[in-house]
Structure 1
Amino acid sequence: MKQRCAIARAYAVNPKILLMDEPFGALDALTRVQMQVQLLQTWAQERRTVMFITHDVDEAVYLANRVVVMAARPGRIHAVIDVDLPYPRTEDIRLTDEFAELRNTVWSAVYHQQPDELTT
């Protein structure tokens, strides 16, 4: 409930860009999925730019239009991966071959760090 309230407060000030740093990280799995769905619904209505930081690859692919993978030490952009999954997104999309392929591409960018092959 605290996370929902914090997100509502952020939207209430009508920002042009909404910055969200691990907003669902401390939630249980079911609540996390519910919040992801709610965020997508709000985004569909408002169409504001959201920069969403997460360490959860599935969450990144499910929510994003574009995933930016950062490299550590020094912190820099390692790869940019376009997510061309259709909207509206539902839980069923997570079971598709397209989702699995994108998830694998992001995982590869995170763990194998070969930017020339993965940047699109």
Structure 2
Amino acid sequence: MMGDEVRTTSFRPSPNDYVYTTYCRKAFCSDWEAIQDAAQKAHIGLWSHPAPVSPWSYRRGKSADQKETSPQTRGPVTFHGNTSSHVFHKPGCRYYDCKNCTRVFQTRDEAIKAGYRPCGSCKP
């Protein structure tokens, strides 16, 4: 299977790619992970979104409640607090627009000072 190996190693990931580390066990995977880490730190490509969704999560429907917008039309990040459970969520969280998430916070610190705790799923 020399042809498959050549085709695989000639691929170069971009800042818009995820590395699926569970299955990527070849020597070149560490290079791909370095490219992904650099893109995450620089907030470029898909990493410029406040809550990027991995392809495998997207396929499982984990982003069904997420409303995608372009970076140009996106306003400042706000957090939604659930007035019942006192848990707050960041944009992109599946609980962000729940029926009890009516309290809006401009910052994470503002939510914590109001007695809300961070969501365990989105970890704002």
TM value normalised by structure 2: 0.30
Structure with greater Cα Rg: 2
Higher strand share: 1
TM value normalised by structure 1: 0.30
